[in-house]
Amino acid sequence: MAKLKRAQGIALVCVLALGLSACSSSSEDSGKELSGELNLFLIPSPSSTSIQSFIPEFEANTGVKVNVSETPYGEAHQKQLLSYKQKAGAYDIAQFDNSFLAPFCQSKAMTALNDWVSGSKEYGIDDFDKGQQDYGKCASGDTYGLTLSTEPMIQWYRTDIYEKLGLKPATTWDEWYSNAKKVQASGASGQLIGFGPNVSWWWMTMVWSFGGKLYDENLNPTVNSAEAVAAVEYMKKLLAVSPKGAITANGDEVTSKFLGEEIGAMLNYSGYYGMALDPAINKHAGKFATAPMPKGASDITHLAGWNIGIPSDAKNPDAAWAFLEFVLGKSNAKKYLESGAAAIGRTSIISDSSLQEKNPYLPQLAIPSSSRIERYPQIAVWPEFEVAAIDAVSKVLTGKSAAKAAMDALNEKLKSILANEPR
């Protein structure tokens, strides 16, 4: 990589000629000198791999030693919460799923980044659309997490299959099922969503799209509404036009199946596009494309992805901000994507024609202002909520319960779970 430069408007100001590094924490001229070490808590992902590729240059130009600790996703949340409860200052930077944001907000486990973000021309918050500007914000309005990846759920389809059958990407859920039926009749599998351990991703997306809610403004569960029940019934209907093994497929397996088998279309997050660039996984290179999600009663964009922030007990917060600004700022935005990370939805990146050539899904990250953006439910009890939902939906999909009965039972169970939500 090239030497770290003084970029136009950059908040990370480095005095390289003297072999020193003076970097701002919130403005271009505060001139705080960096020193010491940075301890990073990362969760294995394309984004975390990309982050680490920037470490040698940052170390060389600042003199700050960067240490990395990686923890698998399934263990990360509890390990982070334990660390923050102990206030041991174990980490200066922490990657976390957006579904973790609410408990971190409520416990104030993370540092509010408001002043740093608003004072940094290099980070350039205005380079994101409004919905994505809010992605790392708590209900209080404080920004606790920077966007590490922008991953809306999108439609993927096989161009060769669709062209042969005269099909177009679905714009409604009726069209999605109709397309799948026609593909199945041709001898391929019609469609694929995740019916396995990650089924909650598709379930909540469809509940929202069908016009339902998971709970109301008073945290009363509403998963047994007519709209929510219809969403689950529709999911079961899709099983009949899905490939063998779909009932147990997780997020990764949904993508690998679509890229390796004869399947007309799938719904999955854009962040999986990195798998599509791997020739060992993608057997259909050049034969698929992406499109926006089908619309139901509501035009929903379910926005998922990673956040990254600075724990409130960080020992070196100024260096932490300098590192985040260096990796995620405008100057290195292209490098970040080209190093294998899931794209960050910067307007300047989404609209870059040279990047679209290799990453044709990028236009799907431009979320229309008419769309309603939904994140993971911002509640501390989401882990318990999700487990209960997965169990209920799975009973419907496997024929152990009718949709209305399962959603009624789930609604009752969620009452006690939501009663424990901090108010």
Give the pLDDT confidence of 333-363 residue by residue, as tens digits. 999 999 888 888 899 999 999 999 889 989 9
Residue 244 clears pLDDT 70, i.e. is over it: yes
Tell me the pLDDT band of 113, cut-offs 50, 70 and 90: very high
Determine the pLDDT at residue 215.
Answer: 97
* pLDDT of res. 31: 53
The predicted structure's pLDDT at residue 342: 86
Whether residue 367 has pLDDT greater than 90: no
Residue 14 has pLDDT above 90, yes or no: no
pLDDT at 25 over 60: no
The pLDDT score that the predictor gives to residue 56 is 97
Lowest mean pLDDT among 30-39, 99-108, 256-265: 30-39
The pLDDT assigned to 19 comes to 32
What pTM, to 2 d.p., does this model score? 0.85
pLDDT above 90: percentage of residues in the chain: 73
Range picked from 2-11, 18-27, 177-186, 337-346 for highest mean pLDDT? 177-186
Alpha-carbon distances of 312 from 24, 99, 114, rounded to whole Å: 19, 19, 13
Average pLDDT for 195-221: 96
Domains of the chain, earliest start first? 16-150+305-365 (3.40.190.10), 153-302+379-418 (3.40.190.10)
pLDDT at residue 274 in the model:
84
More confident residue, 26 or 157: 157
**In angstroms, rounded to a whole number, what is the distance separating the alpha carbons of residues 199 and 188?**
23
Question: Partners of 141 in the beta sheet?
Answer: none
- Write out pLDDT tens, residues 57-94: 999 999 999 999 999 988 998 899 888 888 889 999 99
Give the chain's mean pLDDT: 90
* Residue of higher predicted confidence among 14 and 133: 133
Rounded Cα gap, residues 176 and 206, in angstroms: 13
